[in-house]
Amino acid sequence: MNQVSKIQRRRRLLLCLALICLPMVMNAAWAHKVLLGLWPDGSDIEGELGFSNGDMAAPGTLVEVLGPDGEPIGETRVTEEGLFRFTPTRSVPHTFRANLGAGHVAKASLPMDEMPKIRDSGTPSGDAASVESQAVVPVSAERPADAPTLDPTALEMLIAEAVRREVKPLRRELSALKEKIGFQQVLGGLGYIAGISGLLFFVYARRS
C-alpha cells in the first residue's frame, strides 16, 4: 500500500509539472506567428500581412486603420500578394489591425517620424512644374530635341517597386528562419523540462 501511494504521488507531481510548463511551452510555440509590417511608400503607407512560416494572409482580408486615440480613420484590404496600401490624410501616427481568425490578431503602428508626407493640394500642376523646370535648366546643344525624359517621381516609383520585389522574398525567408529557430528552442525547452523532472524523480526515489 505504501508503494502504491508513492507511485500515485509521483504521478501527481509529474502532472503538476506538466500543467505548469504547458502554458509556457505553448506560448513559446505560438509566439511571433503573425507578422504585420509597415513602411512608407511615397505618399502612401504600404504593409504586408502574413505568418512567420511564409504564408500570406488571404486576399481580401480586412485591415482596420486607427488613429492615435484608437478611433477608426479608414480601412483597406490585402491583395493577392499579401500586401495592402493606405493613403493617409492626417499627419498623425497610424495603427493597423487585422483579425486573421483562430485568435490571430495582428497589430502594428507607424510612428510620426516615419509617416509619409501628406499630399498637398497646393502643389503646382505637372505642366507648370515642367515649364518652370525648362526655364531654369539649360538644354545641352549636343542633346537631341526628341530624347526621351523620365519624370523623377516615376523613376523613384520604379526604383521602389524593384527594391520591394527583391526584398519581399528575403523578408519571408528571414521570417521562416526565425520560426525554425523558435521551434528548436521549444524542443530544447521540452528536453530541459524532461531532464529536470527525471532528476527530481531520481532524487525522490533515492530518498524514499
Question: What pLDDT does 53 receive?
Answer: 76
Query: Is the separation of the CB atoms in 41 and 116 below 8 Å?
Result: yes
Q: Which residue has the higher pLDDT, 208 or 42?
A: 42
Residue 140 maps to a domain: no
Question: Do 83 and 11 share a domain, yes or no?
Answer: no
Distance (Å, whole) CA 14 – CA 20? 10
Residue 202 maps to a domain: yes
Question: What pLDDT does 33 receive?
Answer: 75
Say yes or no to pLDDT of 48 above 60.
Answer: yes
Kindly report, residue by residue over 4-15, the tens digit of the pLDDT: 566 666 666 666
The amino acid sitting at 117 is K
E-assigned strand segments in 12-119: 34-41, 44-51, 62-66, 72-77, 83-86, 94-99, 105-110
Furthest-apart CA pair in the chain: how many Å? 108
Question: Do 87 and 24 share a domain, yes or no?
Answer: no
Kindly report, residue by residue over 98-109, the tens digit of the pLDDT: 998 888 899 999
Question: Do 47 and 16 share a domain, yes or no?
Answer: no
pTM: 0.52
Question: Do 191 and 114 share a domain, yes or no?
Answer: no
Residue 193 maps to a domain: yes
Question: Do 160 and 172 share a domain, yes or no?
Answer: yes
Residue 98 maps to a domain: yes
What domain range includes position 98?
Answer: 34-118+152-180
Q: Which residue has the higher pLDDT, 63 or 12?
A: 63
52: confidence class by pLDDT, cuts 50, 70, 90: confident
Count structural domains, the chain.
Answer: 2
Q: Which residues, other chains included, contact 8 with Cβ-Cβ below 8 Å and sequence gap of 6+?
A: none
Residue 103, helix vs strand vs coil: coil
Q: Share the mean pLDDT of the chain.
A: 72
Place of cell 507578422: 35
The amino acid sitting at 96 is F
The amino acid sitting at 120 is D
Q: Of 53, 57, 48, which is closest to residue 83 (Cα–Cα)?
A: 48
Residue 174 maps to a domain: yes
Place of cell 517597386: 161
Question: Do 97 and 21 share a domain, yes or no?
Answer: no
Q: What is the CATH number of the domain that holds 162?
A: 2.60.40.10
Question: Do 24 and 42 share a domain, yes or no?
Answer: no
Cα–Cα distance list, 5 to 9, 174, 182, 208 (Å): 6, 52, 40, 12
Residue 61 maps to a domain: yes
Looking at the chain, the whole-number percentage of residues with pLDDT higher than 90 is: 26
Residue 130 maps to a domain: no
Distance (Å, whole) CA 177 – CA 159? 27
Distance (Å, whole) CA 47 – CA 82? 8
Residue 21 maps to a domain: yes
- Where does residue 93 fall: left (phi above 0), alpha (psi -120 to 50 degrees), or beta otherwise? beta
Kindly report, residue by residue over 124-171, the tens digit of the pLDDT: 444 444 444 444 445 454 555 555 666 777 777 677 666 666 555 555
List the single range of 36-40, 41-45, 159-163 with lowest mean pLDDT.
Answer: 159-163
Question: Do 14 and 94 share a domain, yes or no?
Answer: no
Question: Do 172 and 195 share a domain, yes or no?
Answer: no
